[in-house]
Structure 1
Amino acid sequence: MAPMRFTSRFDPRAGAADLWEYLREPRPYRWPILAVSIAIPLAGVAMLTQESHFRPPDAPKVNFISTFAEGRSDEEIRQSNLVNQQRKEAREAEREELRARKVEAYKALGRATGLDVDEMERQAQIEAAREKAIAEARRRERYQAGSALDLSGD
């Protein structure tokens, strides 16, 4: 048995001739189909051959800014905390006063339009109490569940 040559079975010239004959036949959309057929693999190869090198980000530079004087004593810290607490309480009192005035303005508007604002206020208080009770019950339930987990984990 004579050895077969590899080139005799797979002749690229015959394949190219067949392709050229196929392309020469008048078919509708042959050029757009050929262009898309060539563009898709070329786009894939182009995407795969691109390399990206990402450098790691620079470490953040932290600058500590302190508005407090260096070397404050404990008493100075305590006094500044007291002053800040008084400012906070004054702001909260002012907000509460504004809220109360707003409520009174809405009540006056409601009375002027013929609404029973006292009944509406009672209903709102009942609803607020109900929501508070529900929140308290949930808090207790979570606390008890957490305590049970702590005890069982020992």
Structure 2
Amino acid sequence: MRAFFRNVSPRRAIVDFWQVFTAPSEYRRVGLLMAAAVTGTIFYAMAMEGGTALPRPPEIIYFPSFLEGRSDAEILAENKAATAKAKAEEAEEEARQERIRQMYKAVGDATGVETKRAYEEGKAEREAWRKKVEAARKEVLDKHMVDNPVYDAEMKKAQTEKP
């Protein structure tokens, strides 16, 4: 066991290094430069990895809709405004998509391609998708909403006013 520790001792490693380094050889300088280049490359790669500091803490954004002291009327007004904005954006996007569809239809008509059937099929698919999404939303709301006669009356009133 002593022979093993004698061969791996730091003193023995330094003595071996000095003997090899001081021995006359035509490749001594090249070997030294290559060893320094490899070692320097490894240290440079480790330095470029970063990680010298802790990451920045996350930035917290507080929503003004969750402020304390709001009345139910303020909450309802904010919800109605947000819903109207979302519906307006959705209608604007649908109008943009319809303009694109009309352009494709005009190109198809000009080139002699039958576009009416494809347009009607697409319209039916979009309507079926809207109904499916609306049914899924209603299912989620029915599952998680508590009975609210005021809300139910407003929904019935809004549905009867819808053309």
After TM superposition, the score normalised by the length of structure 1 is 0.45
Structure number with greater CO (CA < 8 Å, separation at least 6) is 2
After TM superposition, the score normalised by the length of structure 2 is 0.43
Larger Rg: 1
